[in-house]
Amino acid sequence: MPMRIGVIGLGRMGSFYAEVVAGLGGKARLAAVVGPDASVRAALLSRLGADQAYADIGSALESGGLDAVIVATPTSAHPDVVMAAASAGKAIFCEKPLALTLTRTRETLTAVRHAGVLLQIGFMRRFDAVHVQAKAAIEAGQIGQPLMFKSIGRDPGCPPVAFADPVHSGGLIIDMGIHEFDLARWFMSSEVEHVSAEGSLLACDELRAVGDIDNATVNLRFASGALGNIEVSRTARYGYDIRSEVLGSNGAVRVGGRSSDAVEVLHPQVGQDPTPPFVHRFADAYRAQIVDFVECVQHDRPPRAGGDDALAAIQIAEAATLAARNGRRVEVSGHV
């Protein structure tokens, strides 16, 4: 018998999941679509051939016609929906994150464990072909010991203010970064011991009304001693951009990019070229700076990079070194 699945929440993701279930053939049947908007329910019922449509999860669960549910409601509603489904003995697939806070996540997991039902979370990158290939390369030891993790997640535009409202949203770092944090643990096979982060509101000024930000960076330290850096942004006007990289003791693996779905495994270089690699890369720049130096002297004009720039750079570098040693933020302006 095909599994009878109900999709709870009929927004963009819920409607997509309903289509997926409806297309699974003999494996599963779209037994119910559940959402408050009658017109959306009717449209999906007609287009996808769902068995039933309900306004709320209580009615759907009481019908007795479900084996499992897919939860695609706003995140703030995830815990109540998941706990209700668990109490009814249904297998559960829930979109990320499971809840907006650690406390609610623990409460929800307690209910699921008590009910003894299966719970899967929507961390889809673990099923993406290139990420699976990269994970296999890391596990096979192709890059040696994982030392550094880098991930970039950029959306092409500011979200609606209602989407970022803290009543329904965890904010930029939770909403977008949750995928990166899962990927970091998965790729590095190590738990994160501590983090530091910076965020700013730079382009989506309308988010100020709900106290959200549009760009952030998060630094990670893993239990293995490895380090990580994650960037999340809502301001990549050029398009959706997802990239990740793991540097190992004997190479590196790179995944993705705006126009690439390939995995690149970088192996140690072979050869004895005595010229330092930075000289090859910046040969023209090294020449240009000497030409500019001569012209500055001849024409009595200030250099492009002078003593003040040296002072500013060492201030930042020394402050960063101190911050890395003591694990606390150091103000650059006060570090003279």
> Alpha-carbon torsion 98, 11, 122, 33, what sign?
positive
How confident is residue 260, by pLDDT bands cut at 50, 70 and 90?
low
Q: What is the pLDDT of residue 99?
A: 93
List, for residues 93-130, the tens digit of each pLDDT value. 999 999 999 999 999 999 999 999 999 999 999 999 99
For 56-82, what is the mean pLDDT? 94
At residue 259, does pLDDT exceed 70?
no
CATH architecture of 3-122: 3-Layer(aba) Sandwich (3.40)
**Strand pairing partners for 32?**
6, 52
At residue 329, does pLDDT exceed 90?
no
Task: Please identify which residue in the block is written with the tokens 């995944």.
Answer: 255
How confident is residue 52, by pLDDT bands cut at 50, 70 and 90?
very high
State the pTM of this model: 0.89
List, for residues 142-167, the tens digit of each pLDDT value. 999 999 999 999 999 998 998 888 77
CA distance 334 to 277: 36
Q: Are 200 and 216 in contact (CB under 8 A)?
A: yes
CATH code given to domain 126-266 = 3.30.360.10
